[in-house]
Chain A
Amino acid sequence: MLVEPVALSDFFLSFFSAAMIILSAALYAALYAWAKIKTRPRFYWGAWLAYAALLVCIGIFSTVNHFTGYWLWLSLSLAVGYAFMPRFIWRLCVATHAEEPEHSHQSGGRHD
């Protein structure tokens, strides 16, 4: 079989770690964006903490779902993808809003 199903005793871990992957990824993304917008470095610590939690969840998720062989690429792409994606989206936000007119507080300081 190409996949080995989750063991009965691991059901909860599988559901919970899957949910936590998405939630901690979102938390990491949110804290990262928040740190950027408030320019407060201590939020970065929070972001990295959330990312560490994300890595742990990916580890648990991969173990209980019996990832071997090419399925490990999925673990890797989750870890790498969720690390860089919020940064990329942030840069995209800044870049696409580069010509923001007066009423936004960001452009207020920079483009006058």
Chain B
Amino acid sequence: MTEQVPRWASETFWKKTAIWVTGGSFVLLVILTFDSLSQITAGGSRVQAYGVINKDVSYRFDKAKQRYQPVIGGNAPLFGKTLSEEEAEKLVDLGKKTVQAKNCMNCHTLLGNGAYYAPDLTKAWLDQGWIAKESREQMMVDFLLDPEKNARTFGSNRKMPNLDITQPEAEAIVAFLKWMSTIDTNGFPHNFKAIGEEE
């Protein structure tokens, strides 16, 4: 019982190390958080202002960046109405709130996070399953209002349940999905062929 514990293996040494490592990592995380949040504020280059729902949106391979990238095009107002930035934000907000209140995330993934029972919604607005750009908005709203009757099961028998979504909520969800599809997600999902991008 006489041997001394060397300093580098002592309790105090590791106590100090633990404090410094934890503190250092946390300070670094806070600094990175400030930077990241400034870059993902709506209206920046990575996350678009809500008014983007007035524009045409697509998703294409960017040769310079070597990855897929959202592309914002000309005017293409949602449901034929051009909205101000405030109106657009209000609409997207209602959509986001509805997505949360209906617990979409426990079947679907959003930006790849959530559950795996139903398809990812990140680029749902751009999916070729909506057949043509002209009919897309109406198809989406109809589907949300009565998912059982307008079921799109792709041979899986998995049907979305009726979640008592109202007309304004359905339109807002579509606005939210359109806005979400414009987020620069660093090339996720890869190889996704958007509606209207068929060769």
Chain A residues proximal to chain B, CB less than 8 Å = 1, 4-5, 91-92, 95-96, 98-99, 101, 110-111
* CB <8 Å contact, B9 and A1: no
Q: Could you tell me if A1 and B187 are in contact, using CB atoms closer than 8 angstroms? A: yes
Task: Answer whether A92 and B190 are a contact pair too, CB < 8 Å, given A1-B67, A99-B3, A111-B1.
Answer: no
Q: In the complex, what's the smallest C-beta–C-beta distance from A51 to chain B, in angstroms?
A: 24
B contacts, CB < 8 Å to A: 1-6, 8-9, 65-67, 187, 190
Q: Is the CB of B1 within 8 A of A99?
A: yes
Distance to closest chain A CB from B17 (angstroms): 12
Closest B residue to A91 by beta carbon equals B9
The listed residue (A5, A95, A98) touching B190 by CB distance below 8 A is A5
Beta-carbon contact of B65 and A98 below 8 Å: no
Q: Are B3 and A92 in contact (CB under 8 A)?
A: no
Q: Please give me the residue from chain A that is nearest to B11 by CB atom.
A: A96
State the CA gap A99–B67 with chains docked (Å): 58
Question: Contact between B2 and A95 (Cβ–Cβ < 8 Å)?
Answer: no
Closest residue of chain B to A102, judged by CB? B1
Output the least CB separation between A108 and chain B (Å).
12
Residue ID in chain A nearest B190 by CB atoms: A5
Residues of chain A within 8 A of B67, CB atoms compared: 1
Question: 18 pairs across A/B with beta carbons < 8 Å?
Answer: A1-B66, A1-B187, A4-B66, A5-B190, A91-B9, A95-B5, A95-B6, A95-B9, A96-B5, A96-B9, A98-B4, A98-B6, A98-B9, A99-B1, A99-B3, A101-B1, A110-B3, A111-B1
Instruction: Report how far A91 CA is from B9 CA in the complex, Å.
Output: 9
How far, in whole Å, are A100 and B5 apart by their CA atoms in the complex? 11
Which of A1, A4, A91, A110 has most chain B Cβ within 10 Å?
A1
